[in-house]
Amino acid sequence: MNTFGRKFRVSIFGESHGELIGVVLDGVPAGLELAQEDFTKDILRRKSGAKGTTPRIEADKPRIVSGVYEGHTTGAPLTIVFENTNTKSKDYALFADMPRPGHADLTAALKWDDCQDPRGGGHFSGRLTLPVVAAGVVAKKILEDATILDDTPVNAVEARIVELAGISLLGVTDENQTQCSQSTIPAAWQQAIDQAIQEGDSLGAVVECVVPSIDPGYGEPFWDSVESLIAHAVFSIPGVRGIEFGDGFRAAAMKGSEHNDPIGADGRPTRNGAGGVNGGITNGAPLTFRVAFKPTSSIRKPQQTFNFAKGVTDTLEVPGRHDVCFALRAPVVVEAMTAIVLADLVLLSDR
Amino acid sequence: MNTFGRKFRVSIFGESHGELIGVVLDGVPAGLELAQEDFTKDILRRKSGAKGTTPRIEADKPRIVSGVYEGHTTGAPLTIVFENTNTKSKDYALFADMPRPGHADLTAALKWDDCQDPRGGGHFSGRLTLPVVAAGVVAKKILEDATILDDTPVNAVEARIVELAGISLLGVTDENQTQCSQSTIPAAWQQAIDQAIQEGDSLGAVVECVVPSIDPGYGEPFWDSVESLIAHAVFSIPGVRGIEFGDGFRAAAMKGSEHNDPIGADGRPTRNGAGGVNGGITNGAPLTFRVAFKPTSSIRKPQQTFNFAKGVTDTLEVPGRHDVCFALRAPVVVEAMTAIVLADLVLLSDR
Amino acid sequence: MNTFGRKFRVSIFGESHGELIGVVLDGVPAGLELAQEDFTKDILRRKSGAKGTTPRIEADKPRIVSGVYEGHTTGAPLTIVFENTNTKSKDYALFADMPRPGHADLTAALKWDDCQDPRGGGHFSGRLTLPVVAAGVVAKKILEDATILDDTPVNAVEARIVELAGISLLGVTDENQTQCSQSTIPAAWQQAIDQAIQEGDSLGAVVECVVPSIDPGYGEPFWDSVESLIAHAVFSIPGVRGIEFGDGFRAAAMKGSEHNDPIGADGRPTRNGAGGVNGGITNGAPLTFRVAFKPTSSIRKPQQTFNFAKGVTDTLEVPGRHDVCFALRAPVVVEAMTAIVLADLVLLSDR
Amino acid sequence: MNTFGRKFRVSIFGESHGELIGVVLDGVPAGLELAQEDFTKDILRRKSGAKGTTPRIEADKPRIVSGVYEGHTTGAPLTIVFENTNTKSKDYALFADMPRPGHADLTAALKWDDCQDPRGGGHFSGRLTLPVVAAGVVAKKILEDATILDDTPVNAVEARIVELAGISLLGVTDENQTQCSQSTIPAAWQQAIDQAIQEGDSLGAVVECVVPSIDPGYGEPFWDSVESLIAHAVFSIPGVRGIEFGDGFRAAAMKGSEHNDPIGADGRPTRNGAGGVNGGITNGAPLTFRVAFKPTSSIRKPQQTFNFAKGVTDTLEVPGRHDVCFALRAPVVVEAMTAIVLADLVLLSDR
Which regions of D67-215 does DSSP assign to beta strands (E)? 68-69, 72-73, 78-83, 158-164, 167-168, 205-211
- For residues B147 and B35, give the distance between their C-alpha atoms in angstroms, rounded to a whole number: 20
When pLDDT is averaged across residues A24-51 and rounded to a whole number, the result is 90
D30 touches chain B (CB under 8 A): no
Strands D240-245 and D205-211: unpaired
The pLDDT, as a whole number, for residue D179 is 43
A281 touches chain C (CB under 8 A): no
pLDDT digits (tens, 9 = 90+) for C137-172: 999 999 988 765 455 545 689 999 999 999 998 877
Nearest-Cα distance to chain A for C174, in Å, is 44
Neighbours of chain C (3+ CB pairs under 8 A): A, B, D
Q: Which of C348, C349, C351 to mutate to test the interface with A (most CBs of A within 10 A)?
A: C348
Point out the residue among D29, D221, D348 whose CB comes nearest to the CB of B7: D348
Instruction: Give the three-state DSSP class for D70.
Output: coil
User: What one-character DSSP code corresponds to residue D255?
Assistant: B
The pLDDT, as a whole number, for residue D252 is 98
The pLDDT, as a whole number, for residue B184 is 75
The pLDDT, as a whole number, for residue D83 is 94
Q: What is the DSSP string of C35-60?
A: -GGGGHHHHHHH---STTS-S-----
The pLDDT, as a whole number, for residue B238 is 97
Strands D277-278 and B287-293: unpaired
When pLDDT is averaged across residues A127-133 and rounded to a whole number, the result is 96
Class of domain C3-349: alpha beta
Q: Which of C103, C152, C260 to mutate to test the interface with D (most CBs of D within 10 A)?
A: C260
D128 touches chain C (CB under 8 A): yes
pLDDT at C89 over 80: no
Calculate the alpha carbon distances from A316 to A94, A202, A301, A302, C121 in Å: 10, 15, 8, 5, 63
User: Which 217-256 residues of chain C touch chain A by CB within 8 A?
Assistant: 221
The pLDDT, as a whole number, for residue C1 is 80
Neighbours of chain D (3+ CB pairs under 8 A): A, B, C
- For residues D35 and D47, give the distance between their C-alpha atoms in angstroms, rounded to a whole number: 19
CB contact under 8 A, A204 and B259: yes
User: Which 97-126 residues of chain D touch chain A by CB within 8 A?
Assistant: 111-113, 115-117, 119, 122-123
Nearest-Cα distance to chain C for A341, in Å, is 16
The pLDDT, as a whole number, for residue C178 is 45
Calculate the alpha carbon distances from A283 to A209, A288, B101, B142, B161 in Å: 17, 12, 11, 38, 29
C350 touches chain A (CB under 8 A): yes
pLDDT digits (tens, 9 = 90+) for D37-92: 999 999 999 986 556 666 666 689 999 999 999 999 999 999 999 999 877 666 67
- For residues A234 and A238, give the distance between their C-alpha atoms in angstroms, rounded to a whole number: 9
Residue by residue, what is the 3-state secondary structure of B260-281? Answer: CCCECCCCCECCCCCCCEECCE
* Residue ranges in C34-128 assigned as alpha helix (H): 40-46, 105-111
Point out the residue among B1, B27, B113 whose CB comes nearest to the CB of C31: B113
pLDDT at A153 over 60: no
- For residues B59 and D230, give the distance between their C-alpha atoms in angstroms, rounded to a whole number: 46
The pLDDT, as a whole number, for residue B185 is 87
Query: In this predicted complex, what is the ipTM?
Result: 0.94
- A80 CB neighbour count, 10 Å cutoff: 25
Set of chain D residues whose Cβ sits within 8 Å of the Cβ of A122 = 69, 74, 76
pLDDT at C181 over 50: no
The pLDDT, as a whole number, for residue B101 is 95
D214: left (phi over 0), alpha (psi -120 to 50) or beta: beta
Instruction: Give the three-state DSSP class for B49.
Output: coil
CB contact under 8 A, A278 and B107: yes
φ, ψ of residue B330 in degrees (nearest 5): -85, -30
Q: What is the DSSP string of B114-181?
A: T-S--GGGGGGSGGGHHHHHHHHHHHHHHHHHHHHHHT------EEEEEEETTEEHHHHS-HHHHHS-
The pLDDT, as a whole number, for residue C350 is 66
CB contact under 8 A, C282 and D4: no
pLDDT digits (tens, 9 = 90+) for D203-248: 999 999 999 989 899 999 989 999 999 999 999 999 999 999 999 9
The pLDDT, as a whole number, for residue B1 is 80
- CA D138, D144, D146, D152 torsion-angle sign: positive
Amino acid at C320: G
- For residues C164 and D254, give the distance between their C-alpha atoms in angstroms, rounded to a whole number: 10
pLDDT at A77 over 90: yes
- For residues C253 and C249, give the distance between their C-alpha atoms in angstroms, rounded to a whole number: 8
Percent of chain C with pLDDT over 70: 89
Percent of chain A with pLDDT over 90: 77
Q: What is the DSSP string of A253-277?
A: GSBHHHHSPPB-TTSSBSS-TTTTE
B75 touches chain D (CB under 8 A): no
C18 touches chain B (CB under 8 A): yes
Set of chain A residues whose Cβ sits within 8 Å of the Cβ of C6 = 6-7
Q: Among A243-252, B45-54, D315-324, which range has the highest average pLDDT?
A: A243-252
Point out the residue among C101, C222, C251 whose CB comes nearest to the CB of D294: C251
Point out the residue among C11, C18, C112 whose CB comes nearest to the CB of B65: C18
The pLDDT, as a whole number, for residue A96 is 81
pLDDT digits (tens, 9 = 90+) for D259-292: 999 999 888 899 999 999 999 999 999 999 999 9
The pLDDT, as a whole number, for residue C267 is 85
The pLDDT, as a whole number, for residue B179 is 43
φ, ψ of residue D42 in degrees (nearest 5): -70, -35
Nearest-Cα distance to chain B for C238, in Å, is 16
Set of chain C residues whose Cβ sits within 8 Å of the Cβ of A349 = none
- For residues D339 and D351, give the distance between their C-alpha atoms in angstroms, rounded to a whole number: 18
pLDDT digits (tens, 9 = 90+) for C61-73: 999 999 999 999 9
C1 touches chain B (CB under 8 A): yes
The model's confidence at residue A43, banded by pLDDT at 50, 70 and 90, is very high
D348 touches chain B (CB under 8 A): yes
CB C224 within 8 A of CB D265: no
CB B127 within 8 A of CB A234: no
- D347 CB neighbour count, 10 Å cutoff: 19
pLDDT digits (tens, 9 = 90+) for D131-155: 999 999 999 999 988 765 455 545 6
Point out the residue among D222, D238, D260 whose CB comes nearest to the CB of C303: D260
CB contact under 8 A, D350 and B76: no
A280 touches chain C (CB under 8 A): no
User: Which 48-67 residues of chain C touch chain D by CB within 8 A?
Assistant: none
D7 touches chain B (CB under 8 A): yes
When pLDDT is averaged across residues C163-191 and rounded to a whole number, the result is 75
Point out the residue among D252, D256, D297 whose CB comes nearest to the CB of C163: D252
Calculate the alpha carbon distances from C76 to B23, B114, C137 in Å: 14, 12, 17
The model's confidence at residue D256, banded by pLDDT at 50, 70 and 90, is very high
B2 touches chain C (CB under 8 A): yes
Distance of CA A38 to the CA centre of its chain: 19
The model's confidence at residue A1, banded by pLDDT at 50, 70 and 90, is confident
Set of chain C residues whose Cβ sits within 8 Å of the Cβ of D231 = 228, 231-232, 235, 243
A128 by Cβ neighbours in 10 Å (0-12 / 13-18 / 19+) ranks as buried
Nearest 10 degrees: Cα torsion A195, A196, A199, A204: 150
pLDDT digits (tens, 9 = 90+) for B71-109: 999 999 999 999 998 776 666 778 888 999 999 999 999
Percent of chain C with pLDDT over 90: 77
Size of interface A-C (CB pairs under 8 A): 12
CB C164 within 8 A of CB C182: no
Report pTM.
Answer: 0.95
Closest CA relative to residue C223, chosen from A75, D129, D3, A76: D3
Amino acid at C300: R
Percent of chain D with pLDDT over 90: 76
Set of chain D residues whose Cβ sits within 8 Å of the Cβ of C260 = 101-102, 295, 297, 299, 303
The pLDDT, as a whole number, for residue D148 is 54
CB A78 within 8 A of CB A137: no
Closest CA relative to residue C289, chosen from C344, C255, C331: C331
- pLDDT tens by residue, chain B, 351 residues: 889 999 999 999 999 999 999 999 999 999 999 999 999 999 999 986 556 666 566 689 999 999 999 999 999 999 999 999 877 666 677 888 899 999 999 999 999 989 999 888 899 999 999 999 999 999 999 998 876 545 554 568 999 999 999 999 887 765 544 444 456 789 999 999 999 999 999 999 999 999 998 989 999 998 999 999 999 999 999 999 999 999 999 999 999 999 999 999 888 899 999 999 999 999 999 999 999 999 999 999 999 999 999 999 999 998 877 899 999 999 999 999 999 999 999 999 965
